[in-house]
């Protein structure tokens, strides 16, 4: 019975994989649901990051939403336990969940397994990325910065962008300590990023950079106010080629 359940789950995952690759309705529904899961994640930056991918194809949305939700989930597993060994156990669970082929009920686990079947070799890379979170369990501050850097690099490579560029912009968005990348410090640099995106690769890196600038200017304490709630409209303006204004307040630029 267990083997039959595993085969059934694998067949369903393969069908969804084909839907992602071909752009059929099941694949689009899968991408929509994964992006919504990221938007609903209880982290103040989950929704803005999800919005940066709303104009992308279903396959891109699914890969990005699944990877980013995993990052936030690992951060939660890292931060909540009072004992570092408990954090290690919680993070190890995600490695086991990725490597296990038994039927899964958690939506993120299901999406990770679909991603692994759809992207050759990504399973081993994800395990390596999770290893950075495991190492952070033994850090006094439980800093997951290296884990996020590795995750952004993996996402950049899988979606056809420069991995270091994506990692730098991603870190700028997530961490108030990260400096503004030099190539997006002014409007000219932002628009250059928009225009030099490889054909067919979408505008999510440019939108991510726009959000990073906007987020640094608005400030984390204003994330819940009316201005921040209008982010969807602002993002549409950015997508149309009207990036946020740069202010002298970006004093972290060298």
What is the domain range of residue 16? 1-159
Number of domains in the chain: 2
- Domain identity same for 178 and 215: yes
- Domain identity same for 135 and 223: no
**Which of 159, 189, 216 is the endpoint of a domain?**
159
Q: Which residues in the chain come in under a pLDDT of 70?
A: 1-24, 101-103, 219-228, 247-254
**Which of 159, 179, 211 is the endpoint of a domain?**
159
- Domain identity same for 247 and 177: yes
- Domain identity same for 50 and 153: yes
- Domain identity same for 100 and 174: no
How buried is residue 71: exposed, middle or buried, by Cβ count under 10 Å (0-12/13-18/19+)?
buried
Per-residue DSSP letters for the chain? Answer: -HHHHHHHHHHHHHHHHHHHHHT-HHHHHHHHHHHHHHHHSSSTTHHHHHHTTTTS-HHHHHHHHHHHHHHHHHHHHHHS-SSHHHHHHHHHHHHHHHH--S---SHHHHHHHHHHHHSTTHHHHHHHHHHHHHHHTTSTT---HHHHHHHHHHHHHHTTS-HHHHHHHHHHHH-TTSPPPGGGSSHHHHHHHHHTSPTTS-SHHHHHHHHHHHHHHH-GGGTTSHHHHTHHHHHHHHHTT-PPPP-TT-TT--
- Domain identity same for 6 and 108: yes
**Which of 98, 128, 159 is the endpoint of a domain?**
159
Q: What is the pLDDT of residues 133-183, one digit of tens each?
A: 999 998 888 999 999 999 999 999 999 999 999 999 999 999 988 999 988
Please give the pLDDT value at position 242: 93
- Domain identity same for 130 and 188: no
- Domain identity same for 60 and 130: yes
Q: What is the pLDDT of residues 173-183, one digit of tens each?
A: 999 889 999 88
- CA distances (Å), 127 to each of 122, 182, 249, 250, in order? 9, 31, 39, 35
Please give the pLDDT value at position 116: 92
- Domain identity same for 12 and 100: yes
- Domain identity same for 40 and 98: yes
Q: State the pTM of this model.
A: 0.86
- Domain identity same for 174 and 51: no
Please give the pLDDT value at position 118: 87
- Domain identity same for 60 and 123: yes
């Amino acid at each position: 019975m267990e083997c039959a359940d595993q085969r059934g789950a694998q067949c369903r995952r393969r069908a969804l994989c084909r839907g992602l690759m071909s752009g059929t309705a099941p694949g689009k529904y899968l991408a929509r649901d994964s992006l919504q899961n990221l938007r609903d994640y209880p982290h103040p930056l989950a929704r803005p990051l999800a919005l940066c991918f709303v104009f992308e194809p279903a396959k891109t949305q699914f890969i990005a939403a699944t990877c980013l939700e995993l990052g936030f989930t690992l951060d939660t597993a890292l931060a909540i336990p009072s004992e570092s060994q408990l954090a290690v156990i919680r993070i190890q669970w995600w490695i086991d969940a990725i490597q296990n082929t038994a039927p899964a009920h958690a939506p993120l686990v299901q999406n990770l397994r679909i991603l692994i079947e759809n992207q050759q070799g990504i399973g081993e890379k994800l395990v390596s990325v999770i290893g950075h979170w495991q190492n952070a369990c033994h850090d006094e501050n439980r800093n997951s910065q290296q884990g996020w850097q590795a995750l952004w690099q993996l996402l950049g490579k899988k979606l056809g962008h420069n991995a270091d560029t994506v990692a730098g912009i991603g870190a700028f968005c997530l961490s108030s300590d990260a400096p503004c990348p030099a190539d997006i410090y002014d409007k000219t640099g932002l628009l250059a990023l928009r225009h030099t995106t490889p054909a067919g690769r979408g505008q999510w890196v440019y939108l991510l950079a726009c959000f990073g600038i906007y987020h640094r200017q608005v400030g984390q304490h204003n994330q819940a106010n009316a201005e921040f709630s209008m982010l969807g409209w602002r993002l549409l303006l950015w997508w149309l080629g009207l990036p946020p204004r740069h202010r002298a307040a970006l004093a972290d630029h060298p």
